[in-house]
Amino acid sequence: MTDSTRTDAVRRHDPAVRGFASDNYAGVHPEILAAIALANGGHQVAYGEDDYTANLQDVFRRHFGETAEAYPVFNGTGANVVALQALLPRWGAVIAAESAHINVDEGGAPEKMGGIKLLTVPTPDGKLTPELIDQQAWGFGDEHRAQPLAVSITQSTELGTLYTVEEIRAIVEHAHQHGMLVHVDGSRLANAAASLGVPLRAFTTDVGVDVLSYGGTKNGLLFGEVVVVLNPEKVRNIKYLRKTSMQLASKMRFASVQFEALLAGDLYLRNAGHANAMASRLEAAVRDIDGVTVVRPVQANAVFAILPREVSERLQKRYRFYFWNEHTGEVRWMCSYDTTEADIDAFAAAIAEEMGRA
């Protein structure tokens, strides 16, 4: 082996091992890796002035309409913080479900990095409604209260549930009537589209959503999300906010080409639809196991269940997954684009075996 071809990297994991902790655990889809390799070699202008990022605008406009603007960023937290900053003045606040990722799982980044006040509402299923929004949509003009000027919803939600097209339309219309703009955290937007059987724009652009965080990492990408501006008249200055939020990639072509591979054809739907189907298969496989209760509707690629804690802890030594609620013992099992039927069947058999020992 010559010096020019030598590599000292070695594989340090068993690629046959799968878990159910997160769709972020999955590797990169082969078609995405091929696209990254295609974009490699030679020089391209840095910081988004490359040919791949220019083409990405057309890709996103085909899905979200002619006025859509796409801004690649590194990760989902960055996408959410940048998007929400673009909606709010310094005195603004965003209304969100108590279970929202921006409230629970982003380490306080919206508050610390974006200076954003979160006004949260408890929800039974992770979904906001106009009535629930009204619990926080008050105090307009009161200088002692952070002004509720935006609403953020997640599709699919952190609890694995889906908003229908009409539910999002009702939220957007209600928010706009109150002078509030609407953000969608779409880290699993493709899973929602695959489950609902409608185009991406049907529950975003066409119902009046103002800005969107579009997820790629959970759908087979190596890295990257995109802030998609759907209402450029109201949502401005993303490029400045992206830079000051440390989300501007120098070699952006490698982020952009991934989304081209994902969205130019049907890869996003194939990946998401498969992950959804595996979650449905898992729910069906454990439904009749004594002592296992599936506690939420399975509408995307997540299964939430309650079983004896000691069983869950034994299972975690065989398969990775997380407790969702430490108090109740509720666990979350996530399926990915590369989850196989054999993975599901083996996991379900392990659950049945451990329950038999309980």
Give the β-pairing of 225-229 and 211-215. antiparallel
Q: Give the pLDDT score at 1.
A: 45
User: Cα–Cα distance between 163 and 191 in angstroms, integer?
Assistant: 12
Show pLDDT as tens, one digit a residue, over the chain (358 residues): 455 667 788 999 998 888 999 999 999 999 999 999 999 999 999 999 999 999 999 999 999 999 999 999 999 999 999 999 999 999 999 999 999 999 999 999 999 999 999 999 999 999 999 999 999 999 999 999 999 999 999 999 999 999 999 999 999 999 999 999 999 999 999 999 999 999 999 999 999 999 999 999 999 999 999 999 999 999 999 999 999 999 999 999 999 999 999 999 999 999 999 999 999 999 999 999 999 999 999 999 999 999 999 999 999 999 999 999 999 999 999 999 999 999 999 999 999 999 999 7
Q: Give the pLDDT score at 358.
A: 76
For the chain, domains (ranges, CATH) are 30-263 (3.40.640.10), 268-357 (3.90.1150.10)
User: Cα–Cα distance between 95 and 63 in angstroms, integer?
Assistant: 27
